[in-house]
């Protein structure tokens, strides 16, 4: 079951193997004429294949404080209010500002059938928030000289194949982490994972999926293809992916509740069960193992306490673990993702959107926000950082409800001093809005719903690759 070590650890990109010859009529191959047409097709979006090895981080003098009147107690009250009457069973939130943890708390209960209070150390499943850990461990290996951003995946994972051999040899580590593998299908083969198939057999199906562009030149969100980075980490280091993340990220950052995998969450002293809607209200479930099999894409579990340390590190306050040049590279936009500007708060606030290395980068009313969302059955989460304000927030909850998603733009708007809008449709949310507008309700046209936006294509299985070919 173990992948052979394809290469020894080296800072140099290995010599590419000769392309595999196409075999006529074999599944996963294309005719030479079709391959020539595809290779000659113009790319819809031009983007650098690899991130720059060094990007200048923000100068401390460029960092501004949060807007006057930011009151963390008000947002803690809003978070608690979301659990009243089981709007959601439970929720955890971490807020950091100016290098300090100003809030890391839990609200509600872990399980409606056996209610235990959620606290700062209660573990939630992170779903696609896990992707940033994959990008970060890869960046640490690049810093070590073990990998390069333009290292070819096929050199580390000999079994990896796309439908075209030339494209197979072109896909880089950075392409995988930024969803630029060239695949035309969105979330390719997620349905197989949901049907309980194992990762390695499903990853072989990538050889049958059509391509929409040359690798590195177009964006389609992936979970199976993204998880190839775990194989690269193993081949480059000899350490399993979960061991590498634990050793290089969890332990140094003091993320003492964090783990990877189903066993990790189930063995936690306090963990939040997933919940779905039932006739009688919320019903708790056992977490499914399916997307845990894609550890780089969706395998991490963490608490509010853990997420506070994660935010601080990605805002530059742990240079002993994550140096500033690495952070600036991880957060640098690589490919435009205009589909992120849609209804809800993203449609109203986001002026442009891109994907970086396992992070989204949003222009949020003139401020750069580093962001990701995630969802898997019974869990949802949102993370946002504003480097220009040295501010970050993470919100995790243990249900399918989209309601808490409105909490994020409510917090961001207040931190940035933006004109208030009604993103959170609860009574306490309305009271906060009235307080922010001096008792004057907003015009109806500005009271925009923000509760339909928790995950989008960051949700595993949101749209399934082998059946859905149209771009989002």
Local structure of 183: helix, strand or coil: strand
List the CATH number of the domain containing 138: 3.40.710.10
User: The pTM is what?
Assistant: 0.85
* pLDDT over 80 (residue 58): no
* pLDDT over 90 (residue 246): yes
For the chain, the average pLDDT equals 84
pLDDT recorded at residue 57: 62
Quick check: is 103 in a domain? yes
pLDDT recorded at residue 433: 61
Which position has the higher pLDDT, 117 or 19?
117
Cβ burial, residue 254 (10 Å; 0-12/13-18/19+) = middle
Angle at 17 between CA 11 and CA 19, to 5 degrees: 140
Tally of CB atoms within 10 A around 110 = 24
CA distance 224 to 193: 8
Cβ burial, residue 325 (10 Å; 0-12/13-18/19+) = middle
CA distance 455 to 350: 16
Instruction: Supply the range of the domain harboring residue 296.
Output: 60-441
* pLDDT over 70 (residue 177): yes
pLDDT, tens digit (0-9, with 9 covering 90-100), for 370-383: 999 999 999 999 99
416 contacts 389 by C-beta, under 8 angstroms: yes
Q: How confident is residue 24, by pLDDT bands cut at 50, 70 and 90?
A: very low
Pairing of strands 379-386, 391-397: antiparallel
Q: What is the dihedral of CA 348, 387, 459, 169, to 10 degrees?
A: 120
Quick check: is 143 in a domain? yes
pLDDT recorded at residue 447: 44
Q: What order do you get walking across the sheet with 90-97 strand by strand?
A: 100-108, 90-97, 391-397, 379-386, 367-376, 360-364, 350-355, 335-336
Q: Of 121-130, 159-168, 420-429, where does mean pLDDT reach its minimum?
A: 420-429
Q: What sign results for the dihedral spanned by CA atoms 124, 128, 129, 132?
A: positive
Residue 281: strand pairing partners: 278
| Residue linked to tokens 């000999």 | 158
pLDDT recorded at residue 59: 72
Q: Length of the chain, please?
A: 472
Quick check: is 3 in a domain? no
Quick check: is 448 in a domain? no
Q: Tokens standing for 298?
A: 């969706």
Q: How confident is residue 17, by pLDDT bands cut at 50, 70 and 90?
A: very low
Quick check: is 33 in a domain? no
CA distance 419 to 83: 27
Quick check: is 221 in a domain? yes
Tally of CB atoms within 10 A around 345 = 24
Quick check: is 204 in a domain? yes
Backbone angles phi, psi at 385, to 5 degrees: -130, 140
Q: Is 419 left (phi over 0), alpha (psi -120 to 50) or beta?
A: beta
pLDDT, tens digit (0-9, with 9 covering 90-100), for 93-139: 999 999 999 999 999 999 999 999 999 999 999 999 999 999 999 99
* pLDDT over 80 (residue 10): no
Percent of the residues in the chain that have a pLDDT greater than 70, as a whole number: 78
Local structure of 363: helix, strand or coil: strand
Q: Of 161-165, 224-228, 328-332, 456-460, where does mean pLDDT reach its minimum?
A: 456-460
Q: How many domains does the chain have?
A: 1
pLDDT recorded at residue 32: 43
């Amino acid at each position: 079951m173990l992948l052979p070590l394809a290469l020894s650890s080296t800072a140099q990109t290995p010599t590419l193997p000769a392309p595999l010859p196409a075999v006529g009529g074999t599944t996963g191959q294309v005719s030479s004429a079709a391959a020539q047409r595809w290779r000659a097709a113009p790319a819809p979006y031009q983007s650098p294949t690899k991130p720059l090895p060094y990007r200048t981080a923000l100068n401390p003098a460029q960092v501004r404080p949060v807007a006057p009147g930011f009151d963390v107690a008000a947002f803690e009250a809003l978070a608690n209010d979301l659990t009243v009457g089981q709007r959601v069973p439970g929720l955890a939130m971490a807020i950091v500002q100016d290098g300090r943890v100003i809030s890391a708390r839990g609200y509600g209960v872990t399980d409606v059938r056996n209610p235990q209070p959620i606290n700062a150390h209660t573990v939630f499943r992170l779903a696609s928030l896990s992707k940033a850990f994959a990008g970060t461990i890869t960046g640490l290996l690049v810093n070590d000289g073990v990998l390069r951003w333009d290292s070819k995946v096929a050199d580390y994972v000999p079994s990896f194949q796309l439908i075209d051999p030339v494209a197979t040899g072109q896909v880089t580590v950075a392409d995988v982490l930024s969803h630029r593998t060239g695949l035309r299908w969105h979330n390719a083969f997620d349905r197989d994972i949901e049907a309980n198939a194992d990762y390695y057999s499903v990853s072989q199906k990538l050889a049958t999926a059509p391509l929409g562009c040359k690798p590195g030149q177009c964006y389609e969100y992936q979970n199976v293809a993204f998880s190839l980075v775990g194989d690269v980490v193993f081949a480059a280091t000899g350490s399993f992916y979960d061991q590498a993340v634990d050793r290089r990220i969890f332990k140094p950052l003091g993320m003492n509740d964090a783990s990877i995998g189903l066993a990790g969450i189930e063995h936690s002293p306090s963990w939040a069960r997933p919940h779905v809607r039932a006739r009688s209200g919320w019903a708790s479930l056992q977490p499914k193992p399916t997307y845990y099999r894609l550890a780089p894409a969706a395998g991490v579990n963490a608490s509010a306490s853990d997420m506070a340390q994660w935010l601080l590190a990605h805002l530059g306050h742990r240079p002993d673990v994550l140096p500033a040049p690495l952070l600036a590279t991880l957060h640098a936009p690589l490919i435009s993702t205009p589909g992120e500007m849609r209804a809800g708060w993203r449609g109203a606030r986001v002026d442009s959107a891109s994907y970086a290395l396992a992070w989204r980068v949003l222009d949020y009313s003139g401020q750069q926000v580093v962001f990701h969302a995630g969802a898997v059955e019974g869990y949802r989460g949102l993370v946002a950082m504003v480097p220009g304000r040295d501010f970050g927030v993470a919100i995790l909850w243990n249900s399918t409800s989209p309601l808490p998603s409105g909490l994020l733009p409510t917090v961001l708007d207040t931190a940035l001093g933006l004109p208030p809008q009604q993103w959170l449709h609860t009574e306490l949310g309305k009271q906060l809005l009235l307080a922010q507008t001096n008792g004057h309700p907003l015009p109806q046209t500005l009271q925009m719903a923000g509760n339909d936006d928790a995950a989008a294509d960051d949700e595993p299985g949101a749209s399934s690759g082998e059946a859905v070919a149209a771009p989002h």
